[in-house]
């Protein structure tokens, strides 16, 4: 009799434990689903912001658009930055200052490339930067294949009919190299400066570099309600909203899933290029964009589990 009671008690505990594990797993799955959906929303936000930039750059110029974006970012992060005078030293802050320079070059070259090439093409070429950084030290055959496939995709996108603007390609490649540098510097800044301090300093430096040129080149007569709303839309969609959501997303999904979703950013960019900027893609260009995105996605998805790969870290430092 005692054994029977003990067995029933033990069985009850086992069932309760199993229910607890099941409920915990379901909770994790729900959190991951919410995080993934939010990350997709972030990709939509960033690329919609870039599409709006494509509308307003011909009116006010890339310097003004990037300066407004940096102003919005500064407004988001400055309230959390309370520096002490003793901490404002060159030795401590130089990585963040360098990051600010890279941030200015990256955004300026990318937006100007969007103006010259279109959003879909510019975003695809720009993604070569973080992809190359992730794969450069790899010795896996599949990563070499993915790198070659991405290079072929970009060649298909730019190398056949002579319609692609050479200066635009150079600017997109500059943005790609700048993005890679941004990732490297962000790591160093994260190790040296706590919280949002590094990002805040970088944003201020970027703004200081861009604002004088933006003010000189700004045609005040071109500003009207529509243009101002577009500029604010670029700032909110490309900076304020993504930076706010990233902290939520990264608590709910793994860096690998984050990176896989991010690798399909060029596809989202191409969709908004069609919907907002009325861009047109040939079947070959569609294939080329898909090849680049699939190469990145396969490279990430097949990497071994370890703390943070380069491409996974890339996904956490989307500018």
Helix 62-77 vs helix 225-235: angle between axes, to the nearest 10 degrees?
50
307 vs 114, higher pLDDT: 114
The first and second tokens of residue 179, run together, are 């993005």
Q: Is 53 a residue whose pLDDT tops 70?
A: yes
d(CA 111, CA 56) in angstroms, rounded, equals 10
pLDDT tens digits, one per residue of 219-245 = 899 899 999 999 999 999 998 788 767
CA distance 146 to 22: 38
pTM: 0.79
Give the number of other Cβ atoms within 10 Å of residue 272's Cβ.
Answer: 22
- Structure-block tokens of residue 289: 């964009």
Residue 80 — pLDDT band, cuts 50, 70, 90?
Answer: low
Q: How confident is the model at residue 82 (pLDDT cuts 50, 70, 90)?
A: low
Q: Residue 112 pLDDT more than 90?
A: yes
Q: With 50 as the cut, is the pLDDT of residue 62 above it?
A: yes
What mean pLDDT is predicted for residues 178-201? 78
Confidence bin at 272 (pLDDT 50/70/90): very high
Q: Is 61 left (phi over 0), alpha (psi -120 to 50) or beta?
A: left
Determine phi and psi for 223, rounding to 5 degrees: -80, 125
Task: State the Cα–Cα distance between residues 116 and 134, nearest whole angstrom.
Answer: 27
Check residue 314 and give its pLDDT.
47
Mean pLDDT across the stretch 26-32? Answer: 68
Q: What is the pLDDT of residue 119?
A: 93
Query: Residue 88 has what pLDDT?
Result: 66
pLDDT band at 94 (very low <50, low <70, confident <90, very high): confident
Question: What pLDDT shows up at residue 6?
Answer: 52
For 148-298, strand residue ranges (E) read none
Which of 259, 256, 281, 254 is CA-nearest to residue 269?
Answer: 281
CB distance 207 to 67 below 8 Å: yes
Instruction: In whole angstroms, give the CA distance from residue 97 to residue 89.
Output: 11
Per-residue pLDDT, 312: 47
Give the residue-averaged pLDDT of 113-133. Answer: 89
Q: Work out the average pLDDT over 160-173.
A: 82
Q: d(Cα 180, Cα 187) in Å, to the nearest integer?
A: 11
Q: Which residues contact 297 (CB under 8 A, 6 or more apart)?
A: 260, 263, 264
Distance CA(136)–CA(311), nearest Å, equals: 11
| 278, 319 contact by CB (below 8 A) | no
Share of the chain above pLDDT 90, in %: 32
Position with higher pLDDT, 62 vs 133: 62
Is the alpha carbon torsion for 216, 221, 222, 223 positive or negative? positive
Higher pLDDT, 268 or 17: 268
- What confidence score (pLDDT) does residue 318 get? 45
Task: Specify the higher pLDDT residue, 311 or 242.
Answer: 242
> Taking residues 127-155, what's their average pLDDT?
81
Which distant-in-sequence residues (6+ apart) come within 8 Å of 221 by Cβ?
Answer: none
Measured in Å, how far apart are the chain's first and last C-alpha atoms?
A: 68
Give mean pLDDT, residues 233-262.
Answer: 74
Task: Note the pLDDT of residue 202.
Answer: 84
Residue labelled with tokens 């304020």 = 240
In this model, does residue 1 exceed pLDDT 70?
Answer: no
3-class DSSP state of 16: helix
Q: What is the mean pLDDT of the chain?
A: 80
| pLDDT tens digit sequence for 83-93 | 666 566 767 78
Give the best-scoring range by mean pLDDT among 5-19, 46-60, 137-151, 186-200.
46-60
What is the average pLDDT across 64-81? 84
């Amino acid at each position: 009799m005692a054994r029977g009671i003990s067995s029933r008690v033990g069985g009850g505990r086992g069932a309760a434990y199993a229910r607890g594990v099941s409920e915990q797993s379901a909770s994790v799955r729900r959190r991951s689903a919410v995080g993934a959906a939010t990350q997709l929303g972030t990709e939509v936000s960033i690329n919609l912001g870039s599409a709006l930039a494509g509308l307003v750059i011909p009116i006010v110029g890339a310097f003004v658009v990037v300066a407004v974006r940096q102003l919005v970012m500064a407004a988001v992060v400055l309230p959390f930055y309370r520096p002490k005078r003793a901490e404002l030293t060159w030795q401590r802050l130089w990585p963040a200052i360098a990051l600010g320079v890279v941030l200015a070059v990256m955004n300026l070259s990318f937006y100007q490339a969007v103006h010259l090439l279109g959003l879909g093409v510019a975003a695809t070429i720009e993604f070569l930067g973080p992809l190359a950084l992730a794969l450069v030290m790899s010795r896996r055959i599949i990563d070499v294949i993915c790198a070659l496939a991405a290079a072929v995709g970009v060649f298909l996108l730019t190398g056949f009919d002579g319609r692609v603007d050479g200066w635009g390609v150079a600017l997109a490649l500059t943005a790609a190299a700048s993005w890679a540098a941004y990732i490297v510097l962000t790591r160093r800044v994260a190790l040296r400066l706590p919280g949002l301090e590094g990002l805040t300093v970088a944003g201020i430096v970027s703004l200081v570099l861009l604002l004088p040129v933006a003010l000189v080149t700004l045609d005040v007569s071109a500003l009207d309600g529509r243009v101002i709303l577009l500029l604010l839309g670029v700032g909110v969609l490309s900076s304020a909203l993504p930076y706010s959501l990233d902290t939520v997303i990264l608590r709910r999904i793994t860096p690998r899933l984050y990176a896989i979703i991010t690798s399909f950013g060029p596809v989202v960019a191409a969709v908004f290029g069609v919907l907002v900027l009325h861009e047109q893609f040939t079947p070959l260009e569609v294939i080329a964009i898909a090849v680049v995105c699939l190469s990145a996605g396969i490279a990430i998805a097949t990497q071994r589990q370890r703390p943070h790969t380069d491409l996974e870290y890339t996904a956490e430092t989307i500018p």
